[in-house]
Every structure is written in C-alpha cells, then in structure tokens.
Structure 1
Amino acid sequence: MEPQKVAGKRLVAIAAVALMAFIGILVETSMNVTFPTLMRTMHVSLSTVQWITTGYLLTVALLMITSAFLKQRFTNRQLFTAGALLFILGDLIGALAPNFWILLLGRLIQSGCAGIAIPLMINVIVESVPRSRLGFYMGMSSLILMIAPASGPTFGGLMVALANWRLIFWATLPVEILILIFGWNALEQYTPTKAVKFDWRQFALLAVAFVAIMLGVNSLTTAGWLSWQFLGGLVLGIGALGAYVQVAKHSDKQLLKLEIFRNPIFTYSFFAYVILQFCNIGINFALPNYAQIVVGATSLIGGLMLLPGSLITAFLQPWFGHLLDEHGAKLPIMLGSSLFLLAALGFTLWGQRLTVIMIAGLYIVFSIGRSMAFSNTMTNGLKEVDLSQRADANAIYNTGQQFAGSLGTTILAALMSSVKGGGLSYAAATARGSQLAFGLIALLGIINFGFYFVVFKHQKQDA
C-alpha cells in the first residue's frame, strides 16, 4: 500500500528547494517598480529597461530547456548548490552595478538560480511524494510560481522605500546563503545519474528561436508591426524552431521530447498553462508601472496594491489543490478561468481611469482565478503523462511558462507604449496603451475556454 505521508527529511528538502525557487522568482519581478527610476537615472527607455525582467525570464527559459538533461547528468545536491551560487554571484554584481548594462549582466547570471531551482523543485516533489498527495504538493509548488512574481513588486517597492533599488539585491543575499546551508544536507538522490551527452546543436536552435522572437517583439515599440526587425525576428525564430523539430526527429537525445505533444490532454493543457503565465507576468509588469505613470503613485504603493491579492491567493492555494484531489480538475479550472476572465474584462472596461483601490480589488479576483486554474492545469496535464516522461513534460511546462512570461512582459510593454501623438500627455497615452494590453489579456482568457473544452472532451477520467 502506498504511504500517505512524506518523510521528515524529504519535507526539509522540498522546503529548501521551494524557498530557493521562491527567492529566484521573487526577484524576477521585484525590479518592475524601479523602472521609472532606472529610466531617469540610467537614461534608458521603457522598451530597454524592461529587459531587466525580460532578459531574466528568457535566460530562465533557456536553462529550463536543459532541465531534463541536468536531471540525468547531475545530482540534486549539485544542482541545488549551483543554483545558489549563481544567485549569490548575480546578486553581488547587481548590487554593485555602476550602469544599466552591468546591472543587466548581474540579472542574467542571477536568473540561473530560478532556471535550476524551479524544475528541481517539481522533480523532487514528483519523485518523493505519494500520488494521493501529489495534488496538494503540486498545488504548493504552483503557489511558488504564482505568488512569488506577484509579490515581487511589493518587495521591490518596500526596498526602494527603505533605501533604493540596490537593497533588492543586498536583502536577498543573506537569505540565499542561509537556504544553501539549510538545504544542502537534506537533498537526496532518488534516481541514478548517468553520463549522457548534451546536444549543443538542438540547444543553439532553440536559443536562436527564443532570442529572435523576443528581439522581434521588442522592436514593436520603435519599429512597428510591418518593420523588418519585427518580421525578420519572427521569420528567423519560426525557422529555427522548424529546424529544431527536424533535428529532434532524427535524434535519440531530444532536449524537449516532442512526442509528448501527441497526448491532446497534455498539449491543450500546456497551451492554456502558458497563456495563464503570459498574462500573470505581463500584468505584474503592467499594473505597478500603470500606477506610477498614470495614477501618480509611489513605487511602494505600486507594489503594495498587489499584496492583498497575493496574500489571499497564498491562503487559498492548498484549497485549490484539495479541490482537484477531491472533485477532479474540471471544477477548479473552469471556476478559476471564469474569475480570471471577469477581472480581465474589468481591467479592460475601466482601463483608462483605474485607481489604486480599483486595481487592488480587481487584482484580488484576477489572482484567485488565475491561481486556481494555473496550478490545477499543470497537475492535470502531468497526471496524464507516463511516469517515464514526467521529467520531460516538466521541462516543457517550465520552459514554456518562462518564455511565455518574458513574452508577456515584452508584448504588454509594447502595447503600453504604442499610443503616441494626438496631443496626449505621457500619462494619458500610457493609459490608452494599457487598455489595449488589458484587452489582450481578456481575449486570451476567452481563448483558454476553448483549450479547456478540448482537454475535458478527451479526458476519459477527470482525476
């Protein structure tokens, strides 16, 4: 009979990796509230400064491509240590950065922590937790993926209020050192490692695809939809993805095993999952900047207004997982998607005249709905994958959600900056652009209902 409890040492290991993942994701969005300040002091535009977040997420996505390889090649303890050391090094570079480009370098190095810790956290849970408790623990891991980026602006705003943006780096440095000390001895190895080779050609093709698409989308703010920069980036990115598919078909060492997508439940769950993450990271970028540029709020208020939604969601997250364990995936996913869409329509309707109170209220509904659907979408998709493919499915989920997050930041930044001229002030133009961004989120919420319809149509047993 399968055990119903998780051993104490394994709980410590899960907690340590979860804390590392939380810190790694927290700093993803903690710099969002500093963008207006960095734009003034470092003389960069919004489309440039957003690379502080976009570059971080893009690097995490590229690292996650390798997560299945890393799991086979290195022990959990080695990966845990590497993630902590990358964070510490990047933290120091960011804290001491004399200009924007050194700051960006520190952020790219620091992102290695999240790129390693997120898949490590999920792999440790999947391998050490009984199936009957998987919904609860996967729900808690999804809590990390949802609450950390939502809490980032609040944390960043508080650090700026206490001192300046550099405190974001100094404050997290001792925490990461303690996590390394706390968790190093608890990490165990559940599966043997093996000396597998890494296919650099596949990685290069995926890297070119991701970077080309991101650069193309980023050019929208300055070059436009019909520019050679945008269209060229898309063509190069799609071409590189096509080349990867052809190379992977003839390789027995695929970085991302495409045959998993033959399972329609996994595939459409994945599509819905990345859309939710696109919207989550995008709106966590948009709202603090909207509050500061349009409403005139401080960076502290811009961060704190998201805190109620984050705290309420954190409190409810175990219940979201419990709903799946007790009632199946359809109830929490469809209820969460409905709340998500309701909030997105509210943001769109009042997009040019939002107040801090309105933003905080709508964000509570948005956060609850998005979190309820997000965690259970991933768990439901993973349950439909054979155990031997779980690590690869995990790599695909995590790569997709990080790349979607970086796209969310870039596209929403482009839309917020897209309205120009007409005698509008910068604040009024940003408000109109933000309404377009919120409208995109609402449209994607509607599209997700179509994906879920296909998922539950194919799912023989809603469990």
Structure 2
Amino acid sequence: MKNRIEVNGQTFSRTLFVLTLLIGTFCDMLNQTVMAVAQPKLMSTFSVSTATIQWLTTGFLLVMGIMVPITGWLTDRFNVKWLYIFSQLLFLTGTFLSFVAPSFGALLAGRLIQAAGSGIASPLTMTMLFAIFPPEKQGAAMGLMGIVFGLAPAIGPTFSGWMVDSFSWRYIFGLILPITMIVLVISLWTIKNVIPQRKTPLDILSVFESTVGFGSLLYGFSAAGNDGWLSGNVVIAILVGVAVIGFFGYRQLHITDPLLNLTPFKARNFTLGTLVGCGVMAAMIGFEIVLPMYLQIIRGLSAIDSGLSLLAGALVTALMSPIAGMAVDKYGAKRLLVIGMSILTIGTVPFAFVTTHTSIVAIIVLYAVRTFGISLSLMPASTLAFAAAPMNLMGHASANNNVARQIASAVATAVLVSVFANVTKANMPAKHLLNVDPLAYKHGAFDALLSGYHVAFWLTALMSLIGIGLALLAQERSATESVSDNTIATEQA
C-alpha cells in the first residue's frame, strides 16, 4: 500500500491516517454493545427495569441515527479534519460523564453525548476512507474497517463483563478515556482535510423533521416493553414517527440543498447493500443485547463468564474481516453476501431452541458460526453500496448508509427487548403460586423467560433470512450501475 499520498491538495501518510481512524472507530463501535453484559448489574445499582436499562443502548443508537443525517451537511460545509476532532472531543466528554455518573439519568446523558460524537465520526470515517483509496482497493480498505465494525461490537460484552466482575462498571468507560485522548491528540497531525467543501445552507426544518421522526419512532418501539404494543402512547409515537419521516423524505427529494441527499438510493446496488447492511447490524446488535441476558439470568453465569462465552466469536470476526475484504475485490460482494447471510441464519436458528440445560460449549460454537457469517456480510454490504454511489455524493451516501444502519440497530434492539419483555410477562405464572408452591413458581418463571428469549431469537433469524433474499437481488458487478451513476451525477450537477 502506497504510504505517502496526496488527496485534495493534502500530502500525508495513509498508514497513519487509517490507523488513527481504526482506533477511533473501535472506541466508538465498542460502545454500541458495551452495556450488554453490564445491564443486570446496572439494573440492580440504579433500581430500574429491563425496558428502562435498554435505553443505554437504544438511546445511544438513536442519537447516532439522528446525528448521521446532519453529518452529510457538516461534511460538505466544514473542514473534515476539524470535524473529526470535534467528534472525538464530544465522545471524550460523554465518556467522562458516564465514568463519574452519580445516577442513571447522568449515565444516560453521558451515553447520549458519546453517541453524538459517534454519530458524526462513523459516516465521516467511511467517507474519508473511500476518498483516500482507489476503487480497486476499496474492498481491502473496507476489510480493515470490517475488523473494527465486527470486532468492537462483538468484544464489547467480553470487555464489559471483565470490568464489571473484576473492577466496577465505571471502568468500562474509565479504560476508554485514555485511548480516546490519544486519538484526539494524534488526530491533530495524522488526519487531513481530504474532502472538498462547498457552502451549502442548513435546512432547519429538515433537522427538526429527522429528529422528531426518528426519535418518535424509536420511542414507540422502546416504550412497548413497559406499556404494551397497543397502549396509546406507543401507537401514537410510532404513527407520528412514520408520518414525520415520510415528510422528511419527501422534503429531501424536493429542496435544492437537502440535509440528506437521497439520490444515491436510485442506484440498485446502493439500496440493496444498505438494506442488507441494516439486516446484519440489526441481527448483530440486537442479538448481542439479548444473549448475555440469557446467559446470566437463565444460566447463572457471571458477567465476565458470559462475556468470555462470546470471545471466540469476536476472534473469528477479527480473523475473517480482512480476508472478506480481499475476497470482495476478487470475487465480488454479492457472492460473499449470500454465503455470509446464509451462515448467519443457520447459526441463529438453533438459539430459538435453547433450554436451561443447553451446553455452553454449543452456545460458544454457534455464536462463532454467527459471527463468521457476519464477517462475510457486513463490509461486503458496505462495499456493494458505496461502489454504486458517485464520488461527488460519497458524503451523503455514507450518511444515508449509516443512518439506515443505526436506526435499524436501534429499532431492532428496542423490538427484541420489548418483545422479550411482553412475551415473558404474558407467560409468567400467577402471583399466588409464589406463596403456594415457590418451586413451581420458579420453574414457571424460567419457562416464561425462555419463551421470551425464543421469540427474540426467532425474530433475529427472520432478519437474517430476509437479508439472504435482498442479497440475491443485487447485481454482481457495480459496473452494471453505470446508467444510474450517470443519472445521479447529472442531477447533482
């Protein structure tokens, strides 16, 4: 890989540039699942319910999803070097607040500030990577990023389990603090302004619509865990969210300077690659929230043991992601996607049949099979999408792709947790049985919990199965999208 390169009038070391982005993105992505294993401990510490504690994850994903559309405009308008540094400063501030949080409210606030930084950094990183690599090397570049995108969320539960059992949940954030500080400092020298700027105005109404629309939608899905799917506030929130998102999309297609340019979706492979990526993220993030709960609550594992049970899968991701990236350049993204999504589905279905006696070794192996499928799917989906987008719209293409993934992850997490909570509640034995026959009540409660986990795992398998169908619809080579690319470029000009 050529080290010294010149992009947008900036000469710099591509190796140091990429290394800085990888470390920064690792910290950002780690925080998407780092709360998973810590949830039971935090529920006890702050005396909150399952549906409430999951806001530490869904709230994080929601704010990321809200920030991503604005990042498309920020990338156009501001020097991306200083924009990236600002994102890391936000993330550092949120991490520190989470580390010292005296209450659940303060912890949630810290998580949301973290998410604001991540929401800017995530699409910006993808845009900058595609700006510094030629088309024939973009698959390998995405493979490098795939290590981070796959490994960080996968290793999050192991890391948090170690912290919770050996030290304190606060050190989940305490160990991330110095790494983020280092990234912030070295970014001053290694990151360059590799994206040309243009002075586009900010459409305030679009910002309002995206915030209200996506916020209402996720709130509705999340509140269903406590209030039920047919409660008035849940139904109203979901309907308002869908309606406002519809207005937001319509506005983006009909104004001169959209907050989020939706034109890349006219390219077939961009749309399919984005949708498959949404399915992979939903199946990965949502699953990694639910599985540690099963391991700790049903199987009685400690936080660190439940995290270690997922470590083999994380190592598979680290090993396979760069290999998958190189394979994309050689064989094409579609083949890998179909194979990867099929493996992901096969590895997920057995979890819908777990019991109180299922072998932990079997769970470790099956989880590793799932992550193998994810490794063959996640970055190929991004490569398929971005290869179909014209370079002059890459910032908006990255924002589109990322906002879709973040919202899919947040909604999937909210749905899985709320479905689990509702199914468990519906199957719980009558309260009076606790006094009459405590042992029977305990067995009935465990059966109710298992019913909730089974439904959640079935939903995850369905997400993966849909992904296979979408991958089969993709065109094998991005060159077949040349007509779409020309149309997009002409319309943008």
The alignment's TM-score, normalised by the length of structure 1, stands at 0.95
1:9 is matched with: 13
1:348 touches 1:436 (CA, 8 Å); kept in 2? yes
Structure 1 gap segments, 5+ residues each:
none
- Give the direction of change, closer, same or farther, for the CA distance of 1:351–1:444 in structure 2 (3 Å limit): farther
- The one-letter amino acid of 1:89's match is T
1:28 is matched with: 32
* Distance of 2:446 and 2:103 partners within structure 1: 27
2:458 is matched with: 439
User: Displacement, 1:272?
Assistant: 1.4
1:191 is matched with: 195
2:429 is matched with: 422
Are residue 452 (structure 1) and residue 449 (structure 2) matched? no
2:181 is matched with: 177
2:342 touches 2:465 (CA, 8 Å); kept in 1? no
1:6 touches 1:128 (CA, 8 Å); kept in 2? no
User: Displacement, 1:396?
Assistant: 0.7
1:116 is matched with: 120
1:5 touches 1:130 (CA, 8 Å); kept in 2? no
* Distance of 1:440 and 1:271 partners within structure 2: 17
2:60 is matched with: 56
Are residue 140 (structure 1) and residue 141 (structure 2) matched? no
2:219 is matched with: 215
* Distance of 2:322 and 2:195 partners within structure 1: 28
User: Displacement, 1:356?
Assistant: 2.8
User: Displacement, 1:301?
Assistant: 1.0
1:356 is matched with: 360
* Distance of 1:237 and 1:199 partners within structure 2: 19
Are residue 255 (structure 1) and residue 259 (structure 2) matched? yes
2:85 touches 2:187 (CA, 8 Å); kept in 1? no
1:301 is matched with: 305
* Distance of 2:82 and 2:321 partners within structure 1: 30
1:287 touches 1:359 (CA, 8 Å); kept in 2? no
- Give the direction of change, closer, same or farther, for the CA distance of 1:207–1:390 in structure 2 (3 Å limit): same
1:14 touches 1:124 (CA, 8 Å); kept in 2? no
Which of 109, 125, 132 in structure 1 is aligned with 2:129?
Answer: 125
Instruction: Out of 234-243 and 190-199, give the one that drifted further.
Output: 190-199
User: Displacement, 1:9?
Assistant: 1.2
**Secondary structure of 1:159 counterpart:** helix
User: Displacement, 1:42?
Assistant: 0.8
User: Displacement, 1:195?
Assistant: 3.2
Which of 219, 225, 238 in structure 1 is aligned with 2:242?
Answer: 238
Deviations 1:41-89 (A, max 9, x none): 2111000010011111111111111121111122222122212211221
* Distance of 1:63 and 1:153 partners within structure 2: 25
Instruction: Out of 318-327 and 426-435, give the one that drifted further.
Output: 426-435
- Give the direction of change, closer, same or farther, for the CA distance of 1:430–1:337 in structure 2 (3 Å limit): same
Which of 255, 258, 264 in structure 1 is aligned with 2:268?
Answer: 264
Are residue 160 (structure 1) and residue 164 (structure 2) matched? yes
Deviations 1:404-428 (A, max 9, x none): 1111221111122122223564443
1:202 is matched with: 206
How large is the Cα RMSD of the aligned pairs?
A: 1.9
* Distance of 1:68 and 1:166 partners within structure 2: 33
* Distance of 2:291 and 2:264 partners within structure 1: 36
2:76 touches 2:395 (CA, 8 Å); kept in 1? no
2:433 is matched with: none
Are residue 101 (structure 1) and residue 121 (structure 2) matched? no
**Secondary structure of 2:389 counterpart:** coil
User: Displacement, 1:387?
Assistant: 1.6
* Distance of 2:287 and 2:355 partners within structure 1: 12
**Secondary structure of 1:456 counterpart:** coil
User: Displacement, 1:458?
Assistant: 9.2
User: Displacement, 1:285?
Assistant: 0.5
* Distance of 1:460 and 1:351 partners within structure 2: 48
Deviations 1:181-223 (A, max 9, x none): 2222111112332332211211111111111111111122222
Are residue 92 (structure 1) and residue 96 (structure 2) matched? yes
2:434 is matched with: none
1:408 is matched with: 412
- The one-letter amino acid of 1:436's match is V
* Distance of 2:373 and 2:222 partners within structure 1: 29
- The one-letter amino acid of 2:309's match is M
User: Displacement, 1:461?
Assistant: 5.0
Instruction: Out of 35-44 and 46-55, give the one that drifted further.
Output: 35-44
1:372 is matched with: 376
* Distance of 1:409 and 1:9 partners within structure 2: 39
Count, aligned residues = 460
User: Displacement, 1:122?
Assistant: 1.1
* Distance of 2:144 and 2:102 partners within structure 1: 38
